[in-house]
């Protein structure tokens, strides 16, 4: 099965064991700009899992005026060479190959970070995403940055890396290519030959530093899909010119541009896009050049990946987010366990976190990026086999059951409803977020495969739990919508109700979102797409305040096509029933004036309150009285507090049964705890 995907691939002198790669990205795991232990373990896990080539260092900077705003690597110093050397040894030990991306961000950064130098670009054209006004580069700027690229490539070679990739994806070199960003009238502006000049000078300097036998590739756009940007035809011409130069060994192609927020979502397509999003565009480029072509763009299953290689769409398939979700996917496939692969659902939680300056984490795999503390492949316990009772089959309870069973414990899982999923079942009802259901589906399948005793349609109370004579009780009972936040709140429903019940297209809806995550805005879009008129009110400065750019862009693209109006900086003060529906009193936080609306339906999103009745019923029977040793738990040693000599079991609660958070937090709670049982 998938023979094409597992054929070795010759890239210059390097033989890759398969056609699957992880393309460069910046997870913000760097330690003062260096790829230290955490960074290396993250990539090592993928190669241990069977990956042929892992590329790292997305947006790694080569110059002092290209600061590492988002935790990128600093390849502008020889200090990185020893880190590269240990990194290379670690990856080569598992039969994998390793390459680093090098770049200058141009105006895609800020001036008030790092050395506080002005950003630079081909011309003084503002970057819309990062909001910096750059300096138009002088010749001496061009010359020094060309040299910096060469020095960075030298460091890659001296560090034992198998190759390096020069990025043109919206960064400085791409800014010279983009018509809208390059307004120059010298040798670096105008015709394509001139706009490509700095890239060819960079590649020539790189070759001067590393020689002709070292692997050097470029990452570039097959189509920027940007007004005034590089279109597909011009990209093909540029690709041919680069191939003809003799400097380039491969092309790592993307579509869309992160230069602007609306096109960033195309550059890294999530669950709102079809899988294999841009493969036709990539295939056209591949047919036009004489070098191997790589591509990553929501290719998240091996059947599709095999087809990409077999039918000549590309030579190497980037399954980058797929390996963030499951770094052992290839190993599972080879063991005949394809059904047990944790498939990336395209939530883009990883991307959203990076673009807010946080570390990349996977919504559905809490071990990713935490390889020093948490396991991807769960090892059985060497201690006593315990009886573990879990209550609640949402993401927290399913993960607790999965991990506990994999540790070798006897697990009973109670769930009040007829199926698993918890709040995921609600979230997946929104039009473009249906794929999030894959998180619960995989967990439920794993729980079944591991032999957990799952009891659906069972509302577990104290007596049911005690009857199992457990050693450990884990309550993952979740929470219920918190709507009691204003006078007259009894007249409101929750956004859960909006997502799970049919909307009436003839009614007027007011949705009050005092949360700022997906719940409120997705409910508004869902109801509006069914034809209703909706006013989305929030006390925040913008709707979807806490949603990252890779996801909020989808809402911003779709909401204007519906009957949704947004009112910001405003709170609901009162809801009163009237003969014509409900009168809602609103107050502007800044102007401090009040207004009223008359609507048919009022819905409130204000997070959840823990469903904790069972927890407090069980506290007196527990050994720890519900208390946790937080320092021990966080350090990976678990928590086994003894407060009640007559207690029968250790009692824990996780996920939203503790406090209103998100899917990742629920999974992390469960994994961190249950690995210590």
Q: What is the pLDDT of residues 487-537, one digit of tens each?
A: 999 999 999 999 998 888 889 999 999 999 999 999 999 999 999 999 999
- Which residues make beta-bridge pairs with 547? none
Q: What is the CATH number of the domain that holds 493?
A: 3.50.50.60
Helix (H) or strand (E) holding 473: strand 472-475
- Report the pLDDT value the prediction gives residue 245, as an integer from 0 to 100: 98
For residue 505, the model assigns a pLDDT of 86
Question: Do 469 and 402 share a structural domain?
Answer: yes
Asked if 270 and 554 touch (Cβ cutoff 8 Å), the reply is yes
Residue 354 CB neighbours (<10 A): 26
Helix axis angle for 549-558 and 518-529, nearest 10°, is 20
**Which residues on neighbouring strands pair with residue 413, listed in sequence order?**
390, 454
- As given in the structure block, the two tokens for residue 599 are 């609507």
In a domain, 49, yes or no: yes
State the DSSP code for 421.
Answer: -
Residues 600 and 616 in one domain: no
**Cα–Cα distance between 126 and 133 in angstroms, integer?**
5
Q: Is residue 374 part of a domain?
A: no
Report pLDDT for 543: 98
Evaluate whether 343 touches 362 at the Cβ level (below 8 Å): no
For residue 68, the model assigns a pLDDT of 87
Residue 158 lies inside a defined structural domain of this protein = yes
The pLDDT score that the predictor gives to residue 644 is 98
Q: Quick check: is 291 in a domain?
A: yes
Same domain, 213 and 228: yes
Domain boundary among 561, 583, 606: 606
> Measured between alpha carbons, how far is 172 from 182 in angstroms, rounded to an integer?
10
> Considering the domain boundaries, does residue 363 fall inside one?
no
Q: Can you give the pLDDT at residue 261?
A: 86
End residue of a domain, out of 589, 606, 623: 606
CATH number, domain containing residue 120:
3.20.20.70
Q: Are 349 and 398 found together in one domain?
A: no
113-120 long-range contacts, CB within 8 A, separation 24+: 113/67, 113/69, 114/64, 114/67, 114/68, 114/69, 115/64, 115/65, 115/67, 117/64, 117/65, 118/65, 119/65, 120/65, 120/145, 120/172
Count CB neighbours of 211 within 10 A: 11
Mean pLDDT of the chain: 97
From 567, 589, 606, give the residue that closes a domain.
606
**Quick check: is 99 in a domain?**
yes
Q: How many angstroms separate the CA atoms of 43 and 101, rounded?
A: 14
Instruction: Give residue 574's domain range.
Output: 489-606
CB-based contacts of 54, cutoff 8 Å, min separation 6: 21, 22, 43, 46, 47, 91, 96, 97, 98
d(C-alpha 483, C-alpha 608), whole Å: 8
β-strands 581-588, 594-599 pairing: antiparallel
Statement to judge: residues 541 and 656 lie in one domain? no
pLDDT at position 400: 99
- Answer yes or no: do 426 and 506 share one domain: no
289 and 321: one domain? Answer: yes
In a domain, 458, yes or no: yes
594-615: per-residue pLDDT in tens? 999 999 999 999 999 999 999 9
**pTM score, whole prediction:** 0.96
| 627 shares a domain with 534 | no
Between CA 277 and CA 297 the distance in angstroms is 6
- Cα 82 to Cα 41, 78, 159: the distances in Å are 16, 8, 7
Same domain, 508 and 469: no
pLDDT lower than 70: segments of the chain: none
Q: How many domains does the chain have?
A: 3
* Residue 520 sits in the same domain as residue 629: no
For residues 542 and 580, membership in a common domain is answered with yes
For 63-89, the three-class secondary structure string (H helix, E strand, C coil) is: CCCCCCCCCCCECCCHHHHHHHHHHHH
Is residue 406 situated within a structural domain? yes
The domain spanning residue 631 has which CATH number?
A: 3.40.50.720
Concatenating the DSSP letter of every residue in 480-512 gives EE----SBTGGG-EEHHHHHHS---TTSEEEEE
436 and 311 in a single domain? The answer is no
Query: Is the Cβ–Cβ distance between 202 and 208 less than 8 Å?
Result: no
| pLDDT at site 249 | 99
């Amino acid at each position: 099965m998938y023979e094409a995907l597992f054929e070795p691939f010759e890239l210059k002198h390097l033989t890759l064991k398969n056609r699957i790669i992880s393309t460069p990205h910046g997870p913000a795991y760097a330690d003062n700009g260096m790829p230290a232990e955490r960074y290396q373990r993250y990539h090592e896990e993928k190669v241990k899992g069977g990956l042929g080539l892992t590329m790292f260092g997305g947006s790694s900077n080569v110059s002092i005026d290209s600061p590492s705003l988002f935790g990128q690597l600093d390849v502008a110093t020889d200090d990185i060479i020893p880190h590269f050397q240990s990194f290379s040894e670690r990856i080569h030990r598992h039969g994998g190959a390793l390459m680093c991306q090098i770049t200058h961000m141009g105006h895609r950064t800020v001036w008030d970070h790092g050395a506080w130098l002005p950003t630079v670009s081909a011309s003084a054209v503002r970057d819309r995403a990062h909001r910096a006004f750059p300096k138009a580069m002088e010749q001496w700027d061009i010359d020094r940055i060309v040299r910096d690229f060469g020095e960075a490539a030298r460091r890659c070679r001296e560090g034992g890396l198998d190759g390096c990739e020069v990025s043109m994806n919206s960064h400085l070199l791409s800014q010279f290519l983009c018509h809208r960003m390059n307004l120059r009238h010298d040798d670096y502006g105008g015709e394509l030959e001139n706009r490509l000049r700095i890239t060819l000078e960079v590649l020539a300097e790189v070759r001067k530093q590393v020689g002709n036998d070292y692997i050097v590739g470029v990452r570039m756009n097959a189509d920027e899909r940007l007004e005034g940007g590089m279109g597909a035809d011009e990209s093909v011409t540029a690709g041919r010119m680069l191939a003809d130069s003799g400097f380039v060994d491969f092309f790592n192609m993307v579509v869309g541009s992160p230069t602007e927020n609306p096109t960033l979502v195309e550059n890294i397509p999530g669950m709102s896009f079809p899988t294999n999003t841009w493969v036709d565009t990539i295939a056209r480029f591949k047919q036009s050049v004489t070098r191997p072509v790589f591509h990553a763009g929501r290719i998240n299953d091996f059947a599709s990946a095999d087809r990409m290689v077999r039918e000549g769409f590309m030579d190497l398939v980037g399954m980058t987010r797929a390996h963030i979700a499951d770094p052992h996917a290839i190993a599972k496939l080879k063991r005949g366990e394809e059904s047990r692969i944790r498939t990336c659902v395209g939530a883009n939680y990883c991307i959203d976190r990076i673009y807010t300056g946080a570390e990349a984490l996977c919504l559905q795999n809490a071990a990713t990026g935490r390889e020093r503390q948490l396991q991807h492949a769960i090892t059985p316990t060497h201690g006593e086999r315990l009886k573990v009772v879990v209550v609640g089959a949402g993401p927290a309870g399913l993960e607790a059951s999965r991990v506990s069973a994999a540790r070798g414990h006897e697990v009973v899982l109670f769930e009040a409803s007829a199926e698993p999923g918890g709040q995921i079942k609600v979230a997946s009802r929104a039009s473009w977020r249906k794929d999030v259901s894959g998180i619960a589906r995989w967990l439920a399948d794993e729980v079944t495969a591991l032999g957990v005793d799952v009891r659906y349609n069972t509302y577990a109370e104290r007596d049911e739990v005690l009857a199992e004579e457990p050693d450990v009780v884990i309550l993952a009972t979740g929470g219920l919508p918190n709507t009691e936040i204003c006078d007259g709140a009894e007249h409101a429903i929750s956004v859960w109700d909006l997502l799970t019940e049919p909307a009436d297209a003839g009614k007027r809806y007011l949705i009050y979102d005092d949360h700022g995550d997906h719940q409120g805005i997705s409910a508004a879009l869902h109801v509006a797409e069914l034809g209703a008129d909706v006013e989305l009110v929030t006390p925040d400065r913008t709707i979807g305040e806490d949603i990252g750019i890779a996801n909020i862009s989808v809402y911003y693209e779709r909401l204007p096509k519906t009957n949704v109006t947004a009112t910001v900086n405003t709170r609901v003060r009162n809801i009163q029933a009237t003969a014509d529906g409900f009168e809602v009193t609103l107050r502007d936080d800044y102007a401090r004036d009040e207004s009223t609306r008359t609507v048919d339906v009022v819905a409130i999103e204000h997070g959840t309150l823990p469903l904790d009745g069972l927890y407090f019923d069980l506290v007196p029977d527990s050994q720890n009285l519900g208390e946790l040793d937080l320092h021990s738990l966080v350090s990976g040693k678990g928590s086994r507090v003894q407060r009640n000599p007559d207690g029968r079991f250790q009692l824990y609660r996780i996920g939203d049964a503790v406090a209103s958070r998100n899917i990742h937090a629920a999974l992390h709670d469960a994994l961190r705890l249950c690995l210590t049982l």
